[in-house]
Every structure is written in C-alpha cells, then in structure tokens.
Structure 1
C-alpha cells in the first residue's frame, strides 16, 4: 500500500528527542527518508554530543526506514546548508523541512541579558531562515516543496518570562507567511504548528503558583506523538493546497489559529489630536482591546 510520504526526503531539525524525534519517526514510518538533525546540546543550547541524532537514526533503520544523522547547529547558515546538501547527497533530493530545533533561556524581561535574547532568536528564527533558505533553491528547481515551522502560543498569545522565545516564535509566523507568498509560484508551501506537548522544551516552564502547577500537569498528558501526524501531513503532497496557515495541536484537538486583521476603526474628519484620541478614539475602541492573557487563560479547559 502506498504511504503518504513514499519517495519523499525530509529534514527534521532538533529531532534527537521530544517533538522532533516523533516527527522524524512518523515521517519515516510514512515512507520518507529522513535527515535527523540534533545538536545534542542542553536545553539552553550548551554542550554537544552527536549521540542524540544517531539514536533516532538507529530507531528508524531498525524499523526498516532510511535515515542519516546530522549534529550541526541551525543557527549557522553554512551548517544549515550542509544539512540540506546531506539530504541531496544521501537520498537524491529534498522535499520538506520541519523547523523544530529550539532552545529556551527563560527569564523575566527586566533580568534578561542580551546574550540570552540573542541565542534564542538565533536558534528559532534565524535557524528557520537558514534551513528554509538552503532548501529554497532545490524547491524552486523541482517546483515543489514544503516547510513546516514550529511556533508557540507563547508568541501567539503570551506567556510570562519568555520575551526572547515569544518574540522568535511570533516572528516565525510572519516569516512563514512571507515565504508562502514568495514561493507560491513554485508550488512551495509554508505553514506553522503551535504544539502542545510535554517535552524537554517546556519542562523548564516556571511553576510559581498552584494554577501554574495544575497547568503543567495537564501538559504532561499531551505526548509529542500527538503532534507528529500534523507535521507529516503538512509535509506531504496531500497538503498541496494548504499554505500560509497556523495550526495548533493539543492532544486530540487541531485548531486553526487566526491571524492579525483590523477588528474595529474610528474616524475623525478633522484628523486626531492626542486629546481627541484620549477622549473619543480609545473609549470607542477599548471594548475590543485584547486582554493581557497568557496561553493557559485561553486554553483553559482540560485536553481531550
């Protein structure tokens, strides 16, 4: 029986564990040859071992699939290009890139260092650019390709002590939309997933209150394997008409996430003064202000 990813070659970054590992395993099980990338670093991006990626490759090959390991950093554009080149050398082509690699350096904004902001943005946002740009030339030549980027409700909605991570993750959605527009003429698609899954990436969430502790316990019920099918679908030809979208996957639920659009306006024929804005514009608009919420306020019900 034909599988949904037969004949395809996929690069999955940050695939040594967590969500990335399950996506790599699921892609291989669906028929794809997989480049398994993982720096093998700590959650903060320090230290390195090549074992993480190779262990996943061993799992794939033991199950009868095809895979090769890569232990480079997505934050390095030359290394990102090597990941794509490795796919082409080993398997003859590249059909999809899943940008999953990431690090966390959480901290309240007034305590956050430049280095911690820079490091997180480099891995998440620059990493997505580096691998996507490396694949773009191949995609254009073959007039097909798929990019799947991991965003987060920390960026889409908000979260405490994650200004660096939230900034990078929301930026990825704008990046994805722009790539989808630019690459449409070559049948190249770009979409985002905001995953809900208990993994190393979110195990460092600050737990300062009983409410936060309860939320973490709910998150632990959601396994990375629940996210993988959506990523594999978006990387496949079955998603040929799906591009520029943001999805969230939460246990057995799939959400389509809205994107910023004007929701209300006010007009003054004579233009606005600061006083007129204070007296008329803001009172008229205020009923539609977005509340200062965190992700748990919006996704407040138990996972199903």
Structure 2
C-alpha cells in the first residue's frame, strides 16, 4: 500500500552563497549594493519619466536612452533583490525553476542592452556621416522596430540555455559560488557531460558580444573617417563630443562582462571573490552611471530633468 502513496520528489534547491570567502562581510558589502541599486532606480526612472512627459524629447536618441534605462533597471533588478536577501537574511536557497528563470531574464536583458548599444552607434553614424538624412533614416517608428528586433533576437538566442540546463542531472552539491544564477556556474554543478552547454555559451558570446562589438567598431571607423575629412578643428571636437557618452557607456558595459566571461571559463587561478565581484560590477555600476553620463552630456535632457527636480 505504501507504494501507491509515493510521489515524485521535488528537485533539491540550489544554494547561492553570495561572495565566497567574504561571508563575514556580507552586511558591509550590502551597503554599496543597496546604494547603487537605489541610485540606479532613481536615475533611470527619472529618465523614463522626463522623456515620456516632454514632447520635445520624443526623438530617436532619447527613445534609445529610454530603452537603455529599461535594460539597466531590468539587469540590476534581476540580481540585486536576491543578493540583498542573501546578505541581510541569509536566504541562500533558490528553486531550480527560480534559478533558471533568473538566468534567462538576466541574459535576455544583457543581450537586449547590447542591441541598444549597437543601435546607438548606428544613430551616431547617421548623425555625423549623413546628417541631412538623419530625420528620414532614423524615425521614432524605425527605432521602435529596431528595439523589437533586438528583443526578439535576445529571447530566441537565450531561450535554449535554460532548456539545455533543465535536461541535465545535478550532483548532490547544489552550491553556487555566486550572488545570482549564471549559466556556466549552474552547468558546472551537473554530473553529466556539459559540452553542449559550453559550446552554446560560446555561440551566444560570438553572436551577441563579438558581432555587436564588430558592428560598433565598424560604425566608429566610418565616424572617425568622416570627422577627419572635415577641415575645421572645432568640427572635429564637436563630432567626437557627440560620441563620448556612448563610448563611456559601451566601455563600462562590455569590459567587465567580457572579463567575467573569460574568467568563468579560463580563469581557474583567479580567486572566487574577485570573479564574483567583477561579475556584480557590470550588473550594478554601469546601470547606475548611465543616466548620469547622458544627463551630463545631453544639455536638453539635463534642462528638462532640472525642470522637474528643481521646482519649488
């Protein structure tokens, strides 16, 4: 009779330990985590609010800033709340389904952000190399369509990752030395062959990072060539000045993410807490700084933000 009462057991949850080796300092580490997250939310929500309210800001560049703000909010929100639960309440457990869901949304947002940065590079290329046709080439509807294409690409590219992971059998040790569920960190807990997972992770890196960086580099080669053809020195400075915000954001987004990817695969000699810290760096710092960078460089946006924040 006991056999008829048996039910399939639920998969054991994963354990996110936070920053390995620095567990005793989690309370102190949570302070910059929470601070950066609050600044991120305030800055990016302000950008979304001001652009939505001001009709004069309904332009392609500001719509791209809104897309970037949404990806910044999504990237940090998919990680920070759970990390703070680990730091403050020691709530390290996460279900397998919750882990795969977190991983899916995190990678989708990152791929979407990469697409937005490529579109921003194209926007700068058209503005500098073909300014007379800017308004006809880059309309608001075309920007919206490019954003939709970027989202569809992100979902289609990332979706196989949790599907492949869900087919693996995991060993007894379910401890993830991270603050969040990252693709290879979860795959390494499997008792089976993860060659397919490794290869697909490499494919994603090539499709998203390498291809997007190539398109961005090509855009800037054409931009620099167009600027050098201009004889006036002031025009050189003005042309380069319009690109500095995008270059800063791009460097902050890609540099730590590429480093994190390489250390996850090849950096066995790097201390775990260093890898985890760098992995959290690009999830916290760039989303916090992006609205500040564009707010400082964009006079029009800065004035509109001041209109709402400096009201008596």
Q: Structure 2 length normalisation: TM-score?
A: 0.27
Q: For the pair shown, which has the larger CA radius of gyration, 1 or 2? A: 2
Q: Structure 1 length normalisation: TM-score?
A: 0.28
Higher-strand-fraction structure: 1
